[in-house]
Every structure is written in C-alpha cells, then in structure tokens.
Structure 1
Amino acid sequence: MTEVLKQLVELLQLEPLNELSFRGNSENLGFRHVFGGQVLGQALMAGCKTVEEKDAHSMHGYFLRPGDHSLPIDYEVQVVRDGATFSTRRVIARQSGTEIFAMMASFQSPEEGFDHQFDMPDAQGPEGIYSELETRRKFKEFIPEKVREQYTVDRPIEIRPIDPINYLAPETREPYKQNWFRAIADLPDDPVIHQCILAYASDFGLLGTSMLPHGVSFMGKGMQVASLDHSIWFHRDFRVDDWLLYDMDSPSASRGRGLNRGNIYNQDGILVASVCQEALIRQRK
C-alpha cells in the first residue's frame, strides 16, 4: 500500500472514545471547508464499528454546517434498532460541540433474493485516459496559486474522466458525466474499508454535473457551491482498488439547488452502488 493511500485508510479508521463515540482527523484538499466525502466515509465507519455480522446497504446524510479542516470531528453513534435482519444507526458529527452532519445508515445480514439491474452504459475503458491529477500537473500554472499545491499532490484515489471538463473555462454541455476511479494500490480484504472509501470517493465530481448545462464550475467567480445531502445504496460486493465506472447525470436544477445522481459499475458491468445528492449551486451577483 502506498503512503498516501495508507494515510486515507488511517483517516477513515477513527479513534474510539467509548463504545458509541469516535474521533476522526481532518484533511485539507484545497477546498474552503472539509471535503464532504471525508465526513461521509468517517460517519459510515463510525456506524460500522457498532454493528456485527451485517453489511451497510444504505446511508442518507445531511450536511448541516461547513466543517473546519483544521479541527478533528467527533462522531456520536445512536443505536436506533437491532433486528434479526436489519440494524439502524444514527450518526451525528460535531466540531467544537456543534453539529455539522447527521446521517442514518441501515445494515443487513447476508440474504439471497430477486436480482436485476440496469445495463452498464457504453463507456470508453480506463486504459489510455489521462487522470485528473496528470491533467492538473500538466496545466498547473493555470491553477490559482493558493490551491495549486493541494490540487497537484499525490492522491489516494485515481480519477480518469471521460471527456474531461476545463473547470477554469467551462463550456455548456448536457448534464451527463462519466469518470473511472480506483484506489491507487491494493487494499485489505475488509469490505468495510472498501465501502467507506467508496463513500469518500463518491463525492468527487458529482456536484459539478448539475452545473454543466449552465457553463459554470465551482471555480467560477461568484459561485457558492456545497453538498446539501448525500445518499448511497450498496447493491453488490465490490473492490474499490479495481476500476469502477461512475456514470453521473443531473435531471434538474432550480432555486439555487442542483440534483445529481450516479450509478457505479465494475468493469464486468455489475452495478455495485447508486448515489444521489442535492447541492447548493448559487451564483452571487
């Protein structure tokens, strides 16, 4: 495992304070506030640490306040229900005693049942596509100096966008986007690690899908953007150190909010997870 990926795994592991309370550190990715994917991954990990012999199948979270990446985050897990098949947990994230995120997560014992899925859409494979990091480094002189270092350092998740977007000079296009992504090295076989890293990675690029028809990006002058809520459904087993296709669309934007959806497939065309998020996409005059 590379050092940068090891750091991500350690970031998601959390320090136990008691049986139902945990503390996580924060990282600075160059955004104004804590990266939402970090909070998603850590909150899911906190819930997983209180459940035995069941896997997470869904999580639904609300970002209540922006987080400060210079401060740790405390996660309180509340046991809502433990049944024979399903368990439910409520997770509250706080900084300096103030709630910044709230999540409900559901866990299920292994079970067989009906099985169907949408077919994987046509997409160019990941081979031969420049990664997002390679492109940033190639054109780093155009990145604002105050975030240039954070945007061009090694990252634990490699993202290869199909038909990439120039965030500094976005063009108007249909609200559809596809990225391949994976962890940059092999990970342990623990499925909890893979679910938490997928939750972390699911927040990369999703928000911007709703801005595509309007020719703006999060780096545009006067743009105020933030994730408002985020939901994930885990359908089937997967490994996040194998290539996964993130097929995204945005069916609607209105009243300063954009709705973004994504289906995540492995290279065999198996639908492993689905994501939905509403985001603030406000353009200040």
Structure 2
Amino acid sequence: MRENEAMSAETPPSSDVLDLPTDAEGPLGHLLRALRLERTGPNAFVGPTLPTIQQRVYGGQVLAQAIIAAADTVPAAGEGARSPHSVHGYFLRPGSLDHPVEFAVERLHDGRSFSTRRTHALQQDTPILSMISSYQVDQPGRDHGSVAPAAPAPESVPSALETFEQVDHPAAQFMVRTAPFEIRHVGGDLYLDAGEARTDQQLLWIRARSELPAGLSQVHHRALLAYACDQVMLEPVLRRHGISWRTRGLSLASLDHAMWWHRPVDVGQWLLFAQESPSAHGGRGLGTARVFAEDGTHVATLAQEGMVRVPEDAGA
C-alpha cells in the first residue's frame, strides 16, 4: 500500500453525512475519517461529508478530499515518489449535505520530475469544485524563503475555542464540539466583533487540536493545511472593513483558492499565518498568507479570492 493510500477506506462510508464526532475519536479523528475516500475506479473516488451548522459542505473539506484523491494517482513511495507542491482550485457551487462527493481525476501529465492532475468534485454529476494540482519528486536545488514576522508565542495568545466556550449559542457550541484545529489570533479574533483597528494585516497561529496518527503522510499534512486555511483566508478583508463574522447580512463565499507548499509541513505543530488583503472590489476580496513553522521556516504560501458582501453595499 502506498503511503498516501494508508488513509483510504477498505469499505465505503456508512452514511453520506458523518455523525458528529464521538468523544473517543475527537474532531481531528472525525476529519481524518472524512478523508478516507472509497476508490470506485482507477481515477474515481467517493467521500462522505462532514456536518456543518450552515447545512452546506465546507469548502476546505472538498479541497482536502480532492488533494487526497489526486495524490492517490501519483507515486507516493519508493523511487519517483512525489508530493503535492501546488494546487489551484475554483469553487463552482455550494455543496449539499444530502449527497456524497464524488471525485474524478484526470491524469494530465507524468514527467520525470513532475505530475499534473485535474480533479473535479461532483454531486449528482454536477461539479462543485474544479482543481488542478502538481506533484514533484523531492530534489535538491537553490534555497531561500521569506523571513517570519515577529509574533508572540502561541501559548500566550487566547484560543478561539475560549471565545466559543463563553458564547451560549448553537453555532458556538457546534464549533467547540467539531473544530479539528485550534486557532489563536494575535490581537483578537473577528468572531464577535471587528475591534477598532482597520487593517488588512493579520497574524494567527493554527495547530491540530489533538495528536495526529503516527506516520501520517506528507500528502495528508498538506491536505489538512488546505482544510484549515479555508476558514481564515478572507478574514483580512473583513478586518480591513470593520466586518465581523456576526455582521448582520454578511454573505461570504470562497471563489478560488491557490496553495504552494515549499517545504514539508507538520500541522501537528504550531503554524504562523502572516496574512494580508491586497485588494477588495466589486463584492470580491483577495486574501493572502505566508505560512511559517514555529522555528521560522517558510513552509507554504496561500491565496484566495472570495465573495464578500454586506447589505449596505447594494447599489454602491
């Protein structure tokens, strides 16, 4: 069994939508269960969906599953093994919790160093995500990376979970029970209010909420990072315009997403996101992030454009 197939299921999921996480598996185990795709053909897979408070599929889940599906069609062990180094995806439609997600992988290219795949995530034969990803053999080369900005230690920054635990609301309690990652915003989060500062800059720490299984492949670490980042990528847009997640009438949706993994990633350790929003216009906002390991190593770069609308923008 190839390394990145270690999480593939031997049997299909018992339900299209997984139940809420049990105390035994916890939120992270729950997410890893959703990444166990059933292989239905040489280039075809199907996976379950995670429950959400919005009653639609979380985009980061589909993105992570698509990365797992595509990676299962390239060598992942032995000579010629290659890991994902970049992903470019478009979120085409909201996903429904009423149906499983099917993944169709097209093998575009296999070279001596790189493999390229196109993956469509579908529900009822209709695409909800279209993604191109590239995989590379581990090779030597020139090396440099961005310098991590100064940031307080993650242990000194309040956790978003502490905010949710203090709020008597079903959505907050749902997050406490199901969130597989711990997020710590430097300078305060945006869940209840936007604060007074109007800046497109944001620093936050992210780490898996519990211990990861031993020997988890780099493919899965990178897919898990894709899952985690989707929920925070547009926050610099919100912060710049004084919008919080509780702003009445806020309409937010990911449109497209790009990731570049520069070096091995460990989502079981703290990762620093240095974020900004270069532009917002026409109901769209762009968020970018450089991701650093706690020792300052630049491990990934991300970009996402999304729809960001509030009622007072209508007709502007």
Q: What residue in structure 2 maps to residue 158 of structure 1?
A: 182
Deviation per CA, 1:150-195: give whole Å up to 9, x if none.
2231422111221122433323520111111111213332111111
Q: What residue in structure 2 maps to residue 16 of structure 1?
A: 39
Q: What residue in structure 2 maps to residue 225 of structure 1?
A: 252
Asked if the contact 1:157–1:201 (Cα under 8 Å) also holds between the matched residues in 2, the reply is yes
Query: Could you state the TM-score of these two structures normalised by the residue count of structure 2?
Result: 0.85
Q: What residue in structure 1 maps to residue 62 of structure 2?
A: 39
1:9/1:226 Cα in 2 relative to 1: closer, same or farther (>3 Å)? Answer: same
Question: What SS is found at the alignment partner of 2:34?
Answer: helix
Cα deviation for residue 17 of structure 1 reads 0.7
| Letter of the 1:185 counterpart | E
Cα deviation for residue 18 of structure 1 reads 0.9
Which shows bigger deviation, 223-232 or 126-135?
Answer: 126-135
Which of 202, 216, 219 is residue 243 of structure 2 equivalent to? Answer: 216
Matched, 1:101 2:129: yes
- d(CA) in 1 for partners of 2:178 and 2:251? 27
Q: What residue in structure 2 maps to residue 261 of structure 1?
A: 288
Q: What residue in structure 1 maps to residue 201 of structure 2?
A: 176
Cα deviation for residue 2 of structure 1 reads 4.7
Question: What SS is found at the alignment partner of 1:127?
Answer: helix
Q: What residue in structure 1 maps to residue 78 of structure 2?
A: none
Q: What residue in structure 2 maps to residue 54 of structure 1?
A: 82
Q: What residue in structure 2 maps to residue 118 of structure 1?
A: 146
Q: What residue in structure 1 maps to residue 211 of structure 2?
A: 185
- d(CA) in 2 for partners of 1:70 and 1:220? 28
Asked if the contact 1:176–1:249 (Cα under 8 Å) also holds between the matched residues in 2, the reply is yes
Which shows bigger deviation, 247-256 or 2-11?
Answer: 2-11
Deviation per CA, 1:132-165: give whole Å up to 9, x if none.
1121102x12x4x4x2432231422111221122
Q: What residue in structure 2 maps to residue 283 of structure 1?
A: 310
Asked if the contact 1:59–1:231 (Cα under 8 Å) also holds between the matched residues in 2, the reply is yes
| Letter of the 1:178 counterpart | L
- What do you get for the CA RMSD once the two structures are aligned? 1.6
Asked if the contact 2:273–2:292 (Cα under 8 Å) also holds between the matched residues in 1, the reply is yes
| Letter of the 2:304 counterpart | Q
Asked if the contact 1:218–1:225 (Cα under 8 Å) also holds between the matched residues in 2, the reply is no
- d(CA) in 1 for partners of 2:275 and 2:126? 33
- d(CA) in 2 for partners of 1:8 and 1:156? 7
Aligned residues between the structures? 281
- d(CA) in 2 for partners of 1:13 and 1:45? 9
Identity over aligned residues, as a percent? 37
- d(CA) in 1 for partners of 2:184 and 2:29? 21
Asked if the contact 2:190–2:245 (Cα under 8 Å) also holds between the matched residues in 1, the reply is no
Cα deviation for residue 204 of structure 1 reads 2.1
Asked if the contact 1:23–1:72 (Cα under 8 Å) also holds between the matched residues in 2, the reply is yes
Asked if the contact 1:218–1:224 (Cα under 8 Å) also holds between the matched residues in 2, the reply is no
Which shows bigger deviation, 162-171 or 3-12?
Answer: 162-171
Which of 106, 115, 120 is residue 87 of structure 1 equivalent to? Answer: 115
Unaligned runs of 5+ in 1: none
